Amino acid sequence: MARSSSVVLLALLVCVAVAAGPAAARKPTRRLNGGYPGSGSSPVGGSSPVGNMPPYTGGSPVPSSGSSPTPLGGSPTPLGGSPTPLGGSPTPDMTPPLSSTPPVSIPPVSRTPFGGYGGYGSRSGMGTSGFFRNNPSRIPQILSLVSSLVKLFGPRLLKFFANRKPPTLLGALKTESNAPIDFLSREATASLINTYVYHDFPLSTAEVVEQFNAALQTPELLSAQALKFQQLNEAV
């Protein structure tokens, strides 16, 4: 009888222990940051924010290093310069216009005594067009007195003598016309002779011919080059 009572008591203890186990397993645990889960806690298996990071409020993100964000509604700046505003005036062309009459430089003239040829710059009067007109014997024989200026200076001269015959070398020296082409022909002829007579003349024969043809463009160039030849001739 006593043994049966012990068995029954042991069975009751086992039932009490089994009934108390699930209740103990369901006891809530405390979070690491203190407190219990509330009604807004994340579901099982979800991720929770780390620490006390504030929630995203919708502001602009932090730009990456080295660049600035373009504001909404703004115009980006194109590569290589500033954009031209719509309706603005184009940049004016600042290139200076080419002059139709280039300056004519005069070689320097040395200061030597007057009276007789003493070298270029003596101003002896023995190199002017008038001197060779009055002293044709001083013109070298290599320059024929009947040679046309076209043979001496080239065919570009013909366009100025469409209604008359081009002058000869002596005829160019004798003309008293001050028309640009006649003025240039007279002084260029004297300069051409000076290149043969005086070896210290500042220009060579080829340079006289070249500068003569370069002036056959406008009346202004004709007169400017003729004046240069005249001043060189008077310095002889």
Q: What is the pLDDT of residue 2?
A: 54
The answer on pLDDT for 184 being more than 90 is: yes
Instruction: Give the residue, 53 or 219, on which the prediction is more confident.
Output: 219
Provide φ and ψ at 208, rounded to 5°. -65, -45
Distance CA 175, CA 178 (A): 9
Q: What is the pLDDT of residue 119?
A: 79
Displacement of CA 174 from its chain's centroid (Å)? 52
Q: What is the pLDDT of residue 186?
A: 97
- 8 A C-beta contact, residue 104 and residue 230: no
Name the token pair of 32.
């690491």
Q: What is the pLDDT of residue 159?
A: 92
Q: What is the pLDDT of residue 122?
A: 87
Q: What is the pLDDT of residue 147?
A: 83
